Amino acid sequence: MRAIASVRATLPYRYIEHPFDKRHGLDTAGYLSKRDLVTGHPHDTYLTGYSAVAPSVFRRMCRHWIDTLAARRRVQAFSFVDVGAGKGRALLLASELPFRKVIGVELSKELAHIAAQNIEKWKREYRARVPIRVVHQDILDFCWPRTPLLVYLYNPFEREMIEHLIECLQSAAKAGSRCVDVLYLNPVFGYLLTRSRLFGELWSERITMSQEDQNADPYATSTDLVSAYRFSPP
């Protein structure tokens, strides 16, 4: 993390702590710019930066998704995949739900290492209900589980990578996943999913953070927009 820590602050709340970390002895908070995350990988060009999802937003979006699960589908059937897992906060929160398994994919070796440490601490507290792991990999090299998928993104990268990701999800669906739902937080390129005609929008919701999350938000914001999509080719 030394290379990351040496970069100067560009946001007022770059080093802000979160009570979620304090309570559980974790390291998931803070903000890192795209320059901080440079790995040497060709896909660095498309980085957006790092910050972690607000727990209240994550929990609310999952509840909403569960409410709109297609008939005959159960959470237990789905693998949860975090595209750009960062320090793993979303993985930890997802592991409180009865997913089949929880997997994070992260391009930055340093962040994947921190996520792995956080996962170990989370497991030691017996908070993980399901298998959970992080892989240090570019998302385009990821081998998608052949199970129903809940693919979660928190604005991880720019337009070109979203286009490639849509192709990967189409292949995963054909290869056996069949059911692919997407939760996209801060869905800057959400229109690409619907424009591809492979995904339909299920819902969009502006979620208000809990007071605790608002106080610890690196961007000093109080709401987040989330959109949900379902793979439904014509």
Ligand X SMILES: C[S@@+](CC[C@H](N)C(=O)[O-])C[C@H]1O[C@@H](n2cnc3c(N)ncnc32)[C@H](O)[C@@H]1O
Positions in the binding site for ligand X (CB under 6 A): 37, 43, 47, 50-53, 82, 84-86, 89-90, 105-108, 111, 138-139, 154-157, 161
Give, in degrees to the nearest 5, the angle at Cα 201 between 230 and 85: 65
Among 54, 57, 69, 47, residue whose Cα is nearest residue 149? 69
Among 156, 153, 155, 161, residue whose Cα is nearest residue 182? 153
Rounded distance between C-alpha atoms, residue 139 and residue 98, angstroms: 24
Toward ligand X, which CB reaches closer, 52 or 166? 52
In whole angstroms, the minimum distance from the beta carbon of 154 to ligand X comes to 4
Toward ligand X, which CB reaches closer, 73 or 227? 227
In whole angstroms, the minimum distance from the beta carbon of 234 to ligand X comes to 28
Toward ligand X, which CB reaches closer, 16 or 232? 16
Toward ligand X, which CB reaches closer, 47 or 193? 47
Toward ligand X, which CB reaches closer, 81 or 180? 81
CA 98 and chain centroid, separation:
17
**In the bound complex, which residue of the shown chain has the CB atom lying closest to ligand X?**
84
In whole angstroms, the minimum distance from the beta carbon of 220 to ligand X comes to 16
In whole angstroms, the minimum distance from the beta carbon of 26 to ligand X comes to 12
- What single string gives the DSSP state of each residue in 69-104? PPTT--GGGPEEEEES-TTSHHHHHHTTS--SEEEE
In whole angstroms, the minimum distance from the beta carbon of 85 to ligand X comes to 5
* E strands in the chain: 79-83, 101-106, 132-136, 149-154, 180-185, 199-208, 223-231
Work out the number of other CB atoms within 10 angstroms of the CB of residue 60. 18
